[in-house]
């Protein structure tokens, strides 16, 4: 698949020896890239959603930690290893729900332990970490392409897709998860129409999904989140296609808050809900959705963030979870790079 955007949202800058990301908080009004050299900026970029999307967060964390360790002047092997573990623990706390973050850093940690020997030098370790981080990104690109091919077998030419949040080019290394079959369909000459939900309260659908689909020349229409049942009732939706931040072993799936609403409505109207995500999103330690930690976000995202004046009364309690969990029986299929899985799911 061609990289229709001409850039990757997360990449290693070889000339500047830094992690380079597109600042998603400024989209769609401004395309601005940020170079990250230290731990503080890496954690800030993840927490403030400059980089977002489960796969992209994992890749950014891996490359970012490799960059941080490359800049660390260690006295000996022990101090290098201790600093790596300390940095990894702090970065892991930046966002708790997306499993890719932990998977990527645990992979670096395991490789680092395996690489410690009497002949290995600190420069060797730094090179090993960076090469592994870049390998994680390359594997994600390959996975995105495979997911696109698998998912497209479920979508007919002329179909209308409802999607949520942003699970496209901006949320991964390249192409996307939920949006990857749409880009592949375009390259094959298929006609797919997309309805994109705003995705409140952070408006990832309005700001990011419509931005990248429009840029790619895809037929996309923006709708408010509370319009989905009406769309389905009118027979305008053929499939709901979303990404995922964590998949439990039984198929329960955490995704952006509001996904559960779409899935319930889709089941009521007999519309399939397809979840697309890489195998790295499956949490082998999580039996079901009750074990998924849901990140709680600050209240200002709901009350003031997008308004010239405060929307709600002062000192108001605000419930603002970043994700919800869709029970596996509502999901028609989970598509990964390895194939198409159907209910009942068993990823053990």
Query: What positions carry a catalytic annotation?
Result: 245
Nearest Cα neighbor of 18 from 52, 77, 65 is 65
Whole-number Å distance between alpha carbons of 291 and 313 = 34
Please give the full DSSP string across 199-256, using - where no structure is assigned: -TTTTHIIIIIHHHHHHTT-EEEEE-GGGHHHHHHTT--SEEEE--SEE-TTS-EEEE
Answer yes or no: are the C-beta atoms of 102 and 92 closer than 8 Å.
yes
Whole-number Å distance between alpha carbons of 242 and 256 = 9
Give me 42's structure tokens.
């890496």
Whole-number Å distance between alpha carbons of 158 and 7 = 29
User: Residue 264, Cβ neighbours under 10 Å: how many?
Assistant: 14
Whole-number Å distance between alpha carbons of 346 and 335 = 13
Answer yes or no: are the C-beta atoms of 328 and 249 closer than 8 Å.
no
With b meaning 16 or more CB within 10 Å and e meaning fewer, what string describes 62-90?
bbbbbbbbbebebeeeeebbebbeebbee
Whole-number Å distance between alpha carbons of 260 and 32 = 33
Residues whose CB is less than 8 angstroms from the CB of residue 88 and which lie 6 or more positions away in sequence, other chains included: 65, 105, 108, 109
- With H, G, I as helix, E, B as strand and everything else as coil, classify residue 63: helix
Query: Kindly report the CA angle at 90 between 255 and 348, in degrees rounded to 5?
Result: 45
Nearest Cα neighbor of 244 from 330, 135, 155 is 330
């Amino acid at each position: 698949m061609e990289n229709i955007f001409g850039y990757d949202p997360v990449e290693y800058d070889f000339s500047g020896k830094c992690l380079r990301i597109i600042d998603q908080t400024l989209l769609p009004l401004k395309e601005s890239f940020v170079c990250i050299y230290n731990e503080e900026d890496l954690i800030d970029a993840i927490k403030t959603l400059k980089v977002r999307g489960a796969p992209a967060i994992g890749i950014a964390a891996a490359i970012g930690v490799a960059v941080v360790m490359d800049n660390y002047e260690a006295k000996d092997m022990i101090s290098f290893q201790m600093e790596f573990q300390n940095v990894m623990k702090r970065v892991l706390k930046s966002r708790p729900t997306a499993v890719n973050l932990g998977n990527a850093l645990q992979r670096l940690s395991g490789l680092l332990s395996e690489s410690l020997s009497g002949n290995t030098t600190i420069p060797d370790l730094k090179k090993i970490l960076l090469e592994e981080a870049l390998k994680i990104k390359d594997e994600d690109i390959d996975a995105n392409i495979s997911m696109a091919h698998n998912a497209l077998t479920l979508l007919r030419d002329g179909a209308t897709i409802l999607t949520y949040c942003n699970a496209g080019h901006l949320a991964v290394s390249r192409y996307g998860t939920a949006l990857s079959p749409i880009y592949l369909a375009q390259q094959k000459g298929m006609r797919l129409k997309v309805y994109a939900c705003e995705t409140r309260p952070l408006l990832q659908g309005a700001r990011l999904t419509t931005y990248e689909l429009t840029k790619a020349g895809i037929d996309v229409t923006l709708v408010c989140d509370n319009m989905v049942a009406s769309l389905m009732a009118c027979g305008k939706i053929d499939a709901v296609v979303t990404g995922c931040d964590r998949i439990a072993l039984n198929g329960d799936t955490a995704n952006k808050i509001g996904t559960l609403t779409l899935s319930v409505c889709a089941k009521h109207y007999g519309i399939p809900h397809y979840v697309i995500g890489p195998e790295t999103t499956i949490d082998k330690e999580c039996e079901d959705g009750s074990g998924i930690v849901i990140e709680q976000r600050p209240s200002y995202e709901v009350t003031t963030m997008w308004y010239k004046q405060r929307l709600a009364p002062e000192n108001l309690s605000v419930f603002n979870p970043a994700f919800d969990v869709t029970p596996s029986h509502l999901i028609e299929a989970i598509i990964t790079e390895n194939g198409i899985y159907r209910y009942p799911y068993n990823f053990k």
